[in-house]
Amino acid sequence: MSKHHIQVTINGKLHEAEVESRLLLVHFLRENLNMTGTHIGCDTTSCGACTVQLNGKPVKSCAVLAVQADGMEVKTVEGLATNGKLHPIQEGLHEKHGLQCGFCTPGMMMTTSALLQQNPHPTEDEIRHAISGNLCRCTGYMNIVKAVQYAADKMAEGG
């Protein structure tokens, strides 16, 4: 067993820790840092519930080692709202009823907020393609797509 000293910037704040090689990023977030907004769903890289952004790109944190994130920036759902103001995608999901049980929602938001960063005006096809690695068992996706469109419009207005 080997231990590693890591420095990871999470939602803009630097965290230092001694971690085992085998510690997964999702467990580092949830158990070491008590940031439980990132969910564990399938545990097998299939469902996308554990999606976080690593250096701006959505990744499944159940298939990344914490030690791999050393020196990198991680963004989680806890970092989406700024100064108490919801991110447009959070607002969109609320306005458009884009969640029911909410389990997939944090991962869904980390994927779609990254999409909007990269592509501010995605088509419906592009939205559906982007979220195809995030499973939702409640909504049928219709209202999630609407929420992303709402967020795109809102961000275009500068909101």
Report whether 112 contacts 60 (CB < 8 A).
no
- Applying CB under 8 A, among 27, 87, 96, 146 the residue interacting with other proteins is 27
Q: How many CB atoms lie within 10 A of CB 128?
A: 14
Helix 142-156 and helix 105-118: axis angle, to 10°? 40
- Applying CB under 8 A, among 8, 28, 35, 48 the residue interacting with other proteins is 48
Residues forming beta bridges with residue 6, ordered by sequence position: 17
Q: What is the closest distance, in whole angstroms, from the C-beta atom of residue 8 to other proteins in the complex?
A: 14
Size of the site for other proteins (CB under 8 A): 32
Q: Which residues bind other proteins (CB under 8 A)?
A: 1-2, 4, 20-22, 24, 27, 43-46, 48, 51, 54, 57-60, 62-65, 67-68, 70, 111, 129-130, 132-134
